Amino acid sequence: VVQDRKGKVVESNAAACAVFHRSPEQLRDSSLLPDGWTCLDEDGAALPHEEQPVPTVLCTGRPMRNFVLGLRSEAADGCASDSAVRWFLVNAMPLTDGAVTVGVVTTFSDVTAYRRAQDVLRVSEEKYRGLIESLPLMVVQFDRKLRIEYLNPAVRTLSGYELEEVADPADWTSRILSEDLPRFQEMVYHALDGQPGRAEYRFRAKDGSLK
């Protein structure tokens, strides 16, 4: 979409017409968004006009790149739902005549499907994290180099250790009794190869007790 210094549409392609549900003739000389449409920021809050990409570029003369913008259209009954929101990655570039900004050209890449997939994943992760953190069992997550990346609250309660105290492989294994260490290592290496396993081993808690 190309707009002049007043924000009026000068040119638009077929994809823009499809996004805004208007013909080229309807878009031309308009301010792009029809009545009943709302701009949203990345967090889903209504975005004031002066903070939207085109007005910002026209005011500052500087480009705006990779701006996440939501466009929400109201239904015929005046209500809007999350399904009525389309998300775009927006790039707005100033058009200049010498040092004067005379317009702006804006591209819209539809990222709605990606955004909705992110939302589903976030909700799933929150549920999973809530379950793990409420378990009375110790849950320890290692990476492939056996560095500890996560401890649930039960680990801190039962062992007394914080993540930074046992993150390095040697920090945790040094607390395992030497005669039990091979069983622990075998279980972990099997897990890294995709095989489940069980092992019983003893370790020293921070207070010196044997667990």
- 171-199 pLDDT, tens digit per residue, is 999 999 999 999 999 999 999 999 988 99
Handedness of CA 35, 40, 46, 50 (dihedral sign): negative
Percent with pLDDT over 90 in the chain: 64
Kindly report, residue by residue over 158-170, the tens digit of the pLDDT: 999 999 999 999 9
Q: Is 18 helix (H, G, I), strand (E, B) or coil?
A: helix
Integer Cα distance of 23 and 3 in angstroms: 16
pLDDT band at 120 (very low <50, low <70, confident <90, very high): confident
Asked if the model's pLDDT at residue 32 lies above 90, the reply is: no
Asked if the model's pLDDT at residue 90 lies above 90, the reply is: yes
Kindly report, residue by residue over 139-154, the tens digit of the pLDDT: 999 998 889 999 999 9
Handedness of CA 197, 200, 202, 207 (dihedral sign): positive
pLDDT at 59: 93
Kindly report, residue by residue over 47-76, the tens digit of the pLDDT: 999 999 999 999 999 999 999 999 988 654
Identify the weakest region by mean pLDDT among 59-63, 74-78, 90-94, 98-102: 74-78
Contacts of 171 (CB under 8 A, 6+ apart): 165
The 8-class DSSP code of residue 176 comes to B
pLDDT at 77: 44
The 8-class DSSP code of residue 61 comes to -
Whether pTM > 0.85 for this model: the answer is no
Q: What distances in angstroms separate CA 160 from CA 22, 141, 176, one per listed residue?
A: 63, 17, 14
pLDDT band at 82 (very low <50, low <70, confident <90, very high): low
Q: What is the mean pLDDT of the chain?
A: 89
